[in-house]
Amino acid sequence: MSNKITVLRDTQPEVLLDATQWEKLSGDPHTVNLNAYKSEDGSKLMGTWMCTPGKWAVNYTKWEYCDFREGYCILTPEGGEPIHLKAGDIFVVEPGFQGTWEVVETVRKYFVFA
């Protein structure tokens, strides 16, 4: 078995505009994905995500690691209490999370989906 390392400093990310499949609930949110890495089988993805204010209905089928660099948002689990997240917060969203993702101030985050 060989070790594989992917250094991303010289990569050119794939740019996707408004590529989210989530349902918009309010506002006029727009997204930019800068996908810097995708595994050969497509099951893992990492990069930078930016979104302008608005609210989405979300249903996670994958695990996501998030490192917020800018902005402020509120994640509210279905039937649960709102979770306020801001620049500097690092968190994980587990598969099966359903609820809303509301961007209050434009967000920029690093993400890893697995």
Average pLDDT, the chain: 92
Whether 6 is in a domain gets the answer no
Q: What tens digit of pLDDT does each residue of 67-79 get?
A: 999 999 999 999 9
Find the mean pLDDT for residues 78-92.
97
Whether 2 is in a domain gets the answer no
Per the structure, the complete domain to which residue 24 belongs is given by 13-113
pTM value?
A: 0.86
Whether 84 is in a domain gets the answer yes
CA 112 to chain CA centroid, nearest Å: 8
Whether 7 is in a domain gets the answer no
Whether 34 is in a domain gets the answer yes
Whether 3 is in a domain gets the answer no
Q: What is the CATH number of the domain that holds 108?
A: 2.60.120.10
Residue 18 has pLDDT above 50, yes or no: yes
Beta carbons of 30 and 16 less than 8 angstroms apart = no
**Closest to 6 in 3D by CA, of 47, 34, 50, 64:** 47
Whether 8 is in a domain gets the answer no
Domain count across the chain? 1
d(CA 11, CA 36): 7
Whether 1 is in a domain gets the answer no
pLDDT higher at 49 or 12:
49
Residue position matching structure tokens 């598969």: 95
Instruction: For residue 3, name the pLDDT band (cuts at 50, 70, 90).
Output: low
- Give the model's pLDDT for residue 1: 43
